[in-house]
Structure formats: C-alpha cells, structure tokens
Amino acid sequence: MTSPTDHDLPLLNATPPGLYRHYKGGWYEVIDTVRCSETLQGMTLYRALYGEGLKTGGQWVRPAAMFAEHGRFDGTAQPRFAPHDPARVPLGDLATAHALIAHLRGRARRERQLQLDTALRPPPPEPTACCGRGCNGCVWEGFYEALHHWRVDALALLG
C-alpha cells in the first residue's frame, strides 16, 4: 500500500494555537493540529491547564472538527471551546491565574526555547497571608496587579 501524498489528504481544519476555555469553565491550551495516521482527519493537540493536566503537562488529541464545534451545551448555544486573548483575560481568580502562567511558560518554551522564569522573571508569588476581615489593600489585588505586569512583560518578550 502506498502512503497518501499531501495532495490526497483531506483538509486539516487546523485549530489556531492559543488559550481556550471549555464551556464548563476549564482552561486549555491548543498546541498544534496533527493528522491521525489511520483516519487522516485533523486532530487538535492540546493540554489541560488545571488539575492533573497542569501538574503532568499531559497532552491529548481530539478531532479538530469536534474541538471547533458550536452547539447547544448546558442549554445555551455556544462553542465547545472558546478562544481567549491572553493579553485580555480578566485576572481575579486563581484558576485563571494558574492557566495564564502555564500557557505563557509553555509558549516561551515552544516558540522561543526560553524558560520564562529565568529569561524574564518568575511570576509573582501567591499571597500566603490573608487578614480575614475584608481589609483595605487586599493582598489578592496586589497579586493580580503584579501578575498583570508579569503578563505584559512576558507577552512583549514573546513578541
């Protein structure tokens, strides 16, 4: 059996790399689109930016057509995965902060062969003390503000 030439292959329907959010709230990073050797269909290569996925960096594929699907999910017409601009993602919760940091570190490794924490600086540390009384000058506001500055500098480095 001969291998198919590029000319014979069906359209890849590539998923643009970047930061995505599943309609249930989880953050994901699309790395690339690859082709299944058996069906020849495009497969989105991605990783989860939360839970075990964040710890292990495990990568997954699912059909690109399914990744790009719009449908009625949880009773609302919406995309299964929505793209988000990392420069504009609102910072105000830890799940988003962790996802953004992992996404920018991953991009630096893949696109620039850089360790962002040394090529730039580590992201700001999470607060460990909380007054518990609803104080002025909340430590979390300071953290998200510092994280925003880190993001701006990281994106400038990535070009």
Q: What angle do CA 111, 114, 116 make, to 5 degrees?
A: 110
Contact between 140 and ligand SF4 per CB under 6 A:
yes
List 100's β-bridge partners, or say none.
none
Name which position in 75, 90, 125, 134 contacts ligand SF4 (CB under 6 A).
134
Candidates 12-20, 71-79, 97-105, 133-141: pick the segment binding ligand SF4 (CB under 6 A).
133-141
Q: Cβ closer to ligand SF4: 66 or 94?
A: 94
Q: Give yes or no for a contact between 81 and 75, defined as CB atoms under 8 angstroms apart.
A: no
Contact between 131 and ligand SF4 per CB under 6 A:
yes
Alpha-carbon separation of residue 146 from 79, 95, 123, 142, 149 (angstroms): 32, 16, 8, 6, 5
Contact between 119 and ligand SF4 per CB under 6 A:
no
Contact between 133 and ligand SF4 per CB under 6 A:
yes
Pairing of strands 59-63, 70-73: unpaired
Contact footprint for ligand SF4 (CB under 6 A)? 130-135, 138-140
